[in-house]
Amino acid sequence: MKLYQTFPAHFVSYTPLVTAQLCGVHLENVYVAPESELAKDEAMKTKKAHWNFPVCETAHGQIISQSVAVAQYIAREAGRTDLYGNTSFEQAQIDQFCCIAQASIGPHSYKVGLTTLGWIVDPAAHAAALKDVKEQLKILNDALAGKDFLVGNRFTIADMAVWVSLFMPFTLSLDAGFRKAMPHVSAWFERVSKLPEVVKIAGAVKLPAKGLKPASA
């Protein structure tokens, strides 16, 4: 099975890559560099169609886009219901958190990242996006009170999808003071960061004492 992506190790691909690790599935990471011969290849263009990377090509040559959908396919094929839900209710909860990650957190988090790293220079947009992320973190902090993981109190795809959606704010912007004020979600983020399968894919994730300021002109 192959995972095509724009960067050799883009964090958006961590959800399928970690799931593959946990399922003992070989998921070959294929870097499709922009402007490369591979990116211009007609067969590659057909596989990508109009979707965003990452795009998965299954062992049967089928194409799946969206990191969470790829992770769910891998877990289902491996029969790992512990990762995508042992009951219909657990499965619905995992879907719920994956949707929250992609729709309610991800767009704000990416904006925090892009405005910090200077891909977009817009301090006002940075402040607004960081405020939105912090509001989502308050909700997650309450949801994680007394729990180690989001669903079923064990690691699932929900944890991975939400962790990925918070990767940029946690590693770039949220300082030690904010993390102390949000103890449940902060402890959970560090717990997921330290799972061996996550370390193997994402490396040692370090959290800053002070948040970086947005890029300015």
Ligand X SMILES: N[C@@H](CCC(=O)N[C@@H](CS)C(=O)NCC(=O)O)C(=O)O
Q: Which stretch binds ligand X (CB under 6 A): 5-13, 117-125, 171-179, 204-212?
A: 5-13
User: Phi and psi dihedrals of 25, rounded to 5?
Assistant: -105, 135
Q: Looking only at residues 104 through 163 of this chain, which bind ligand X when binding is defined by CB under 6 A?
A: none
d(CA 129, CA 113): 10
Q: Say which residues have a Cβ less than 8 Å from residue 23's Cβ, sequence separation at least 6.
A: 74, 75, 77, 78, 80, 83
d(CA 7, CA 31): 6
Confirm or reject binding of residue 2 to ligand X (CB under 6 A).
Answer: no
Based on CB atoms, which residue is closest to ligand X, 100 or 182? 100
Based on CB atoms, which residue is closest to ligand X, 10 or 76? 10
Based on CB atoms, which residue is closest to ligand X, 53 or 163? 53
In the block, residue with structure tokens 């959970």: 188
Q: How far is the CB of 34 from ligand X (least distance, A)?
A: 8
Q: How far is the CB of 176 from ligand X (least distance, A)?
A: 28
Confirm or reject binding of residue 211 to ligand X (CB under 6 A).
Answer: no
Say how many residues touch ligand X, by CB under 6 A.
9
d(CA 7, CA 180): 33
Confirm or reject binding of residue 102 to ligand X (CB under 6 A).
Answer: yes
Based on CB atoms, which residue is closest to ligand X, 44 or 187? 44
Confirm or reject binding of residue 6 to ligand X (CB under 6 A).
Answer: yes
Strands 55-57 and 28-31, bridge-based pairing: unpaired
Based on CB atoms, which residue is closest to ligand X, 34 or 79? 34
Q: How far is the CB of 114 from ligand X (least distance, A)?
A: 9
> For the chain, how big is the Rg over CA atoms in Å?
17
Tokens linked to 57: 């090509």
Binding mask 44-83 for ligand X (x = CB under 6 A): --------xxx-----------xx----------------
* Contact yes or no for 4/57 (Cβ under 8 A): yes
How many other CB atoms are there within 10 angstroms of residue 95's CB atom?
Answer: 18
CA-nearest of 99, 71, 85, 102 to 197 is 71
Q: Looking only at residues 7 through 36 of this chain, which bind ligand X when binding is defined by CB under 6 A?
A: 10, 12
Tell me which residues touch ligand X (CB under 6 A). 6, 10, 12, 52-54, 66-67, 102
